[in-house]
Amino acid sequence: RIGVCYFPEHWPRERWETDVQQMVEAGIDVVRMAEFSWGRIEPERGEFDFEWLDTAVSLLGDAGIDVVLCTPTATPPKWLVDEHPEILQVEPDGTTREFGSRRHYCFNSGVYREESARIAREMTERYADVDAVVGWQTDNEYGCHETVRCYCEDCAAAFREWCRERYDDVDSLNETWGTAFWSQQHGSFAEVDPPRHTAAEHHPSRLLDYARFATESVVDYNDLQAEIIREANDEWFVTHNFMGHFDTLDSFSVGDSLDFATWDSYPTGFAQDRNTEAVTDDRLRAGDPDQVSLNHDLYRGPDGFWVMEQQPGDVNWPPRCPQPGEGAMRLWAHQAVAHGANVVSYFRWRRCRQGQEQYHAGLRKHDGSPDRGYGDASRAAAEFAELGELDGVDAPVALCFSYEDLWALSEQPHAPEFDYWGLVGSFYRALRARGIQVDVVDVSPGADIHLDGYEAVVAPTVHLADESLAGQFEAYVADGGSLLVGPRTGYKLPGNRLQPDLAPGPFADLVGGRVDQHESLPSSVETRLSYRGEEYGYRTWAEWLAPDGGTAVGEYTTGVAAGRPAILEHAVGDGSVTYCGVWPEEDLADALLVGLLDRADVSHAERFPETVRVTPRDGYVWILNFGADPVDIDVGSEAAWHVGDSSIPGFGVGVVEAGLADVSIT
């Protein structure tokens, strides 16, 4: 289904009926509204004006369109800030984040929690019996603009309380963190502060716990809203629109209190501003397909997911803002559906004539005429209607992911280039190049991971680990599973202290060896290894392995490391494990992956170039062309094409009934 984000409050009422009619014509049947509307709904304390929203909801409902409403808490209005300046966030150096953009409130402000509950109650009670409203989005993009972590006094108090609950007595905190280093012992929980500005780097254990605390503050804040929404009408779904490739918020945790997750997908922006790889011409026009798909898979739950905001054309916030390739807005919608999206909702209906996002396109231009995305969205809507209801994604491979690992590694990357997303992305890209559908599994310490159903498991790293976590992997392998594990695994205890033993700590028995040494390296150094007789490149990180039970199947060929083991294989029970002690370059990642898939008997495609992605769902295979050049596909002459045909134009799409292994580029 195709949706759109709509801001009636930005436009004259006379226009609304036209808008709704044009939505219907485009095949749009979901509309999100009101996420920044607090100032319009409550222009001064206690004076509510819902009439405009009532009207908009009923116009949409009359047209058969489902409405998703939002709590408007991402933008507390100025009168509230002036009344209670203590709700504002504070930087590590004590500077206040003032009113004038958005997300200026602190999640731990007691005053703001009350105010949030008050406005949420007002809104949800008003629409509790309105049929057109089918569910709610809480707030908007929690944490955008680096606002998960705040350093105000309310946060300091809440962090102390959080530590008290987690550790019970302060000696336990001291022991878990390891505060004997540099005289960082705390005599009581009252002595614990947020990690504010210091002369040198912070204690990594304090940083990690502050990251956890900050995420949990959002969870608590979100729970408060979710509860109020469900109190008003327990048939409503509750969701939130997460961001893409986002670091500071553990979306698994927040997701626990949602019915399903949604996220905001801006491919050409992400390719520029949060990608460690080169910005090619094709990525400028259609994004990095694997970067986007990884987020689809990350947010997909048992009931799928939505793209709540889909890039509609050119946007305002990346370094440069090229026009997307011809048809790219349709391509992205197909990509989302291939990865299990139930709704693809474009942001936004119409380019806005005011404020910070005037340079951000909509499906319609600011004069109301159709913009480039309108045709793309309409075409996608028609094609999805044609394809009908689809089964969910059936992924043979699990990809392990942990926000806590991300945090720990970003505190101590050991090289500017060591980026968690980049490491995970290297393994993920290799899987996608072979057309494999992937489920993303949370492997944070304490997680209860379910690997049973998967033919193979890929863990780019499992950095923080205890015996329990390692045990779950062992059980999976012993039971016949095939596992590929990457570097820096098992280095740290959950408290962000080194394991008592050498890495991979509790994984040592499983992988059949230990890490003798590690090093981080600049790109100026030649870094190569041999794996099963072929030479490959690696980057940034290297471990010198000492096999103990496992077999060295790769060894370094350059530098001080030359001759030392780099990759191990180990048969355990009915299964097997490959441990890769480096960050692999693309060819090595593919070689490791193909080895894993073959051992696990997982069918895969030939290796596609990055600009072409093949993705199976429900008996169909989507062929998605993220390049400007056309591509000819060979899938057998009798295959049934439901969208397009074997000649896929630049930025085009084909959907064919076929098996993954049958599709190739001619």
Residues 332-371, interacting with a second copy (CB under 8 A) = 351-359, 365-367, 369
Q: Does 449 bind Zn ion (CB under 5 A)?
A: no
Nearer to a second copy, 53 or 658 (CB): 53
Considering only residues 260 through 299, tell me which ones interact with a second copy, judged by CB under 8 A.
279, 281, 284-285
309 carries an active-site annotation? yes
Name which position in 134, 156, 390, 415 contacts a second copy (CB under 8 A).
415
Q: Does 110 bind a second copy (CB under 8 A)?
A: no
Give the DSSP per-residue string, 86-135.
Answer: GGB-B-TTS-B--SSSS--B-TT-HHHHHHHHHHHHHHHHHTTT-TTEEE
**Which partner, Zn ion, a second copy, none, binds residue 561 by CB below 5 to 8 Å per kind?**
a second copy
155 forms part of the interface with Zn ion (CB under 5 A)? yes
Identified binder of Zn ion from the candidate list 119, 152, 211, 648, rule CB under 5 A: 152
Which residues sit opposite 341 in a β-bridge?
305
User: Considering the rule CB under 8 A, would residue 78 count as an interface residue with a second copy?
Assistant: yes
Burial (CB count within 10 angstroms: exposed 0-12, middle 13-18, buried 19+), residue 199: exposed
Distance from C-alpha of 579 to C-alpha of 570, rounded to nearest angstrom = 8
Q: Which is nearer to a second copy, 78 or 450 (CB)?
A: 78
| Residue 14 contact partner, candidates Zn ion, a second copy, none, CB within 5 to 8 A by sort of partner | none
x/- track of binding to a second copy for residues 548-577 (CB under 8 A): -----------xxx----------------
Q: Is 172 left (phi over 0), alpha (psi -120 to 50) or beta?
A: alpha
Q: Could you say whether residue 150 binds Zn ion (CB under 5 A)?
A: yes
User: Dihedral through CA 426, CA 430, CA 432, CA 438, nearest 10?
Assistant: -70
For Zn ion, the binding residues in 297-356 under the rule CB under 5 A are: none
Contact partner at residue 502 from a second copy, Zn ion, none, CB < 5 to 8 Å by partner kind: a second copy
Considering Cα of 664, then 304, then 287, then 383, what sign does the dihedral take?
positive
Among 2, 53, 57, 76, binds a second copy (CB under 8 A): 76
The CB-of-154 to a second copy minimum distance in angstroms stands at 16
Structure tokens at 88: 């504002």
Q: Which amino acid is at 620?
A: Y
Residues 615-634 interacting with a second copy (rule: CB under 8 A): 628
3-class state of residue 451 by DSSP: coil
Q: Please tell me whether residue 355 adopts helix, strand or coil conformation.
A: helix
Q: Phi and psi dihedrals of 74, rounded to 5? A: -70, -15
> Measuring CA to CA, which residue among 409, 475, 398 is closest to residue 442?
398
Q: By rule CB under 8 A, what count of residues binds a second copy? A: 110
Whether 28 and 5 have beta carbons less than 8 Å apart is answered as no
Which range touches a second copy (CB under 8 A), out of 102-110, 470-478, 599-607, 630-638? 102-110
**Token pair 């000696």 in the structure block, residue:** 171
Q: Which does 106 bind (CB under 5 to 8 A by kind): a second copy, Zn ion, none?
A: Zn ion
640 near a second copy, judged by CB under 8 A? no
Based on the shown chain and the rule CB under 5 A, indicate whether residue 148 belongs to the binding site for Zn ion: no
What residue 9 binds from Zn ion, a second copy, none (CB within 5 to 8 A, per partner kind)? Answer: a second copy
Report how far Cα 541 is from the mean position of its chain's Cα atoms.
Answer: 24
The nearest distance, CB 295 to a second copy, in angstroms, is 21
d(CA 627, CA 435): 17
* Pairwise CA distance, residues 8 & 69, whole Å: 13
User: Of the listed 35, 42, 115, 141, which one is catalytic?
Assistant: 141
Say which of 216, 309, 474, 543 is annotated catalytic. 309
CB of residue 38 to Zn ion, shortest distance in Å: 19
Tell the smallest beta-carbon distance from residue 78 to a second copy (Å): 5
| 286 Cβ contact partners less than 8 Å away, ≥ 6 residues apart | 267, 268, 324, 325, 328, 331, 332, 626, 627, 651
Nearer to Zn ion, 149 or 492 (CB): 149
Note whether 10 binds a second copy by CB under 8 A.
yes
Consecutive H or E run containing 467: helix 467-478
For residues 634 and 365, give the distance between their C-alpha atoms in angstroms, rounded to a whole number: 39
Contact between 472 and a second copy (CB under 8 A)?
A: no
Does 323 contact a second copy by CB under 8 A?
A: yes
Per CB under 8 A, contacts with a second copy among 180-199 are 180-187, 191, 193, 195-199
Touching a second copy, residues 374-413 (CB under 8 A): 412
Stretch that binds a second copy, among 101-109, 115-123, 389-397, 612-620 (CB under 8 A): 101-109
Q: CB of 617 within 8 A of CB of 627?
A: no
Report the nearest approach of a second copy to the CB of residue 66 (Å): 24
What does 152 interact with, of Zn ion, a second copy, none (CB < 5 to 8 A by kind)? Zn ion
Is 14 tagged catalytic? no
Q: Are the beta carbons of 235 and 279 closer than 8 angstroms?
A: no
For strands 575-580 and 305-310, give the pairing: unpaired
Provide the pairing of β-strand 534-547 with 582-584: antiparallel
Tokens of 482: 């095939």
Q: How far apart are CA 218 and CA 106, in angstroms?
A: 10
Segment 205-264, which members bind a second copy (CB under 8 A)? 205-206
Which three-class secondary structure state does DSSP give residue 83?
helix
Is 63 among the residues that bind a second copy (CB under 8 A)?
A: no
Does 106 bind Zn ion (CB under 5 A)? Our answer is: yes
User: Which residue numbers are catalytic?
Assistant: 141, 309
**Given the rule CB under 5 A, which residues bind Zn ion?**
106, 108, 150, 152, 154-155
